[in-house]
Structure 1
Amino acid sequence: MKRTQGFTLLEIMVVIVILGLLAGLVVPNVMSSLDEANTQKVVSDINAYESSLKQYFMDAKSYPTTDQGLDALVTKPTSAPIPKKYRSDGYMDKLANDPWNSPYYYKRPSDHGQKHYDIFSAGPDGEPGTCDDIGNWNVDNPPASDCANN
């Protein structure tokens, strides 16, 4: 009698259980690393925006208004106050989105009082004004991505 080779149902179930246990250990660590990487990208982007805003201020003698927004770093504003001195190539090549594919927000004057303006990401939930916002007022101690659950 010829015997076929293959795996028994028990062997397959053991392998699935082992893979499930490994996934249970690895996935939380990978997700935590992803959250940290996303936060670091936001911090880096905010620092780049602040650097460009400082250069803009040195030329224009004021910061863009909330209405002009961060677009003023890429193209010369057409609404008042229009800067008399503006770099021909702007102050940034293009505006970046945050890691959750939302635009960065800009508000002047600042609601947080530490600078003349606020630059922030709305965080993973994509809604500005919630506890997971990462802004120039809290880049040194950004909120946890699950701040609502803390």
Structure 2
Amino acid sequence: MVRFDCPSCGKSISVEDDAAGGKRECPACGETVQVPQRAAEESKAESSSADAPVPAEIVPDAPSPAIPVSQSTGKGGAGIVLIVIAVVAVVVLLGVVGLFLVGSFIGQMQTGAYVDLAKTQMGIFESQLGAYRLHVGSLPNTNQGLVALRYPPSDLPNPQKWRGPYCAKDIPADPWDNPYQYEMISPGQYRIWSWGADGIDGTDDDLIVTNVPLE
């Protein structure tokens, strides 16, 4: 738009840009007035200035805040490593102790099971010796041993009295793979025993079954 004052009445007149340098009728007084060229040029300059893009203001980037470096980082890392090593050592130690305890527990259970098995087998021998004595009239002597329950002794006074075998299989070994021991203490008394876990006769872990009355 071109703006200028009417020379006749002094009112402000606004016309289109393309009317610059031409004539227009003043809307206030009705006089025909000349639209000044200079005003048009200024208007165009103002219009161009208004239409021109305003350059964006360049704002410098704010400096990044410095990240404080802890002087204790190295010490902290070393501390974590020591903690991890300590935890691993404790876990390994607990594992070793656990294995030892489990092994000991299993060993005790196995020993207990073996003891029960040996006592059961010697109880079976007692029953078989009772049948032998009932038929033969006496117990096997020490030399004849428990084998007399399976095979008739060659030195029996009356072999026909032997009605065995009194055991279905050969005399088994004890749970520790040692032979069961037998002794005829008197014509009516006997002792059966196992050497136990240590395999040594006369030690505390021997297992003994006897029909000798306790004193």
**If the TM-score is normalised by the length of the shorter chain, which range does it land in?**
0.7 to 0.9
* Match for residue 207 of structure 2 among 121, 134, 149: 134
TM-score when normalising by structure 1: 0.72
Q: Deviations over 1:97-137 (max 9, x none)?
A: 11110000000116xxxx71001101122222222210104
Shift of 1:82: 4.8
Q: Aligned partners of 1:81 and 1:12: how far apart in 2?
A: 75
SS of the residue corresponding to residue 49 of structure 1 reads: helix
Bigger shift: 22-31 or 92-101?
Answer: 22-31
Which is richer in strand?
Answer: 2
| Alignment size in residue pairs | 125
User: What's the Cα RMSD here?
Assistant: 2.3
The one-letter code of the counterpart of 2:125 is Y
Equivalent residues in 2 for 1:40-119, closer than 5 Å: 40-88=116-164, 90-92=165-167, 93-109=169-185, 116-119=189-192
Q: Identify the residue that residue 20 of structure 1 maps to in structure 2.
A: 96
Percent identity between matched residues is: 33
Shift of 1:15: 5.1
Q: Aligned partners of 1:129 and 1:82: how far apart in 2?
A: 35
TM-score when normalising by structure 2: 0.52
Shift of 1:85: 1.3
Answer whether contact 2:111 2:197 (CA < 8 A) is retained.
no
- Structure 1 or 2, whichever has the larger Rg, is 2
Distance of aligned partners of 1:103 and 1:84 in 2 relative to their CA distance in 1, 3 Å threshold: same
Shift of 1:87: 2.0
SS of the residue corresponding to residue 84 of structure 1 reads: helix
SS of the residue corresponding to residue 112 of structure 2 reads: helix
Distance of aligned partners of 1:84 and 1:109 in 2 relative to their CA distance in 1, 3 Å threshold: farther
Q: Deviations over 1:62-104 (max 9, x none)?
A: 100001000000000002445431225x001221111110000
- Stretches of structure 2 that go unaligned for 5 or more consecutive residues are 1-83
SS of the residue corresponding to residue 161 of structure 2 reads: coil
SS of the residue corresponding to residue 160 of structure 2 reads: coil
Shift of 1:16: 3.3
Q: Aligned partners of 2:157 and 2:102: how far apart in 1?
A: 53
Q: Aligned partners of 2:162 and 2:126: how far apart in 1?
A: 17
The one-letter code of the counterpart of 2:175 is P
- Stretches of structure 1 that go unaligned for 5 or more consecutive residues are 1-8, 139-150
Q: Identify the residue that residue 37 of structure 1 maps to in structure 2.
A: 113
Distance of aligned partners of 1:131 and 1:14 in 2 relative to their CA distance in 1, 3 Å threshold: closer
